[in-house]
Amino acid sequence: MTGVGTQTRHRTAVSRAEAGLSMLEVMIALGILLVVSLGILPLGLIAVSTTENQGHLAARTTEYSQDKMEQLLTLACNDAVTDTRVFPSAATGGTGLAIGGSADPSAPAAGYADYLDVNGNAIAAGNSVPAGWFYRRVWQISSPSANMKQIAVTTIVAHAYSLGRTPQSTLLALKSLPF
- Under DSSP, the state recorded for 54 is I
Structural domain includes residue 153: yes
Structural domain includes residue 15: no
- Cβ neighbours of 136 (radius 10 Å): 21
Structural domain includes residue 120: yes
Total domains present in the chain: 1
Rounded distance between C-alpha atoms, residue 142 and residue 120, angstroms: 27
Structural domain includes residue 130: yes
Non-local (6+) Cβ contacts of 59 within 8 A are: none
Q: What is the pTM of this model?
A: 0.71
Task: Find out whether 177 and 163 touch, Cβ atoms under 8 Å.
Answer: no
Structural domain includes residue 78: yes
Structural domain includes residue 72: yes
Non-local (6+) Cβ contacts of 84 within 8 A are: 68, 71, 72, 75, 94, 95, 96, 114, 139
Q: What is the pLDDT along the chain (179 residues), one digit of tens a residue?
A: 555 566 666 666 555 655 566 888 889 999 999 999 888 888 888 777 777 667 788 899 999 999 999 999 999 988 999 999 988 888 988 899 999 999 999 899 999 999 999 999 998 766 778 888 999 999 999 999 888 999 999 999 988 666 667 888 999 999 988 76
Rounded distance between C-alpha atoms, residue 118 and residue 125, angstroms: 15
Task: Find out whether 140 and 100 touch, Cβ atoms under 8 Å.
Answer: yes
Structural domain includes residue 21: no
Domain residues for the domain of 109 are 35-176
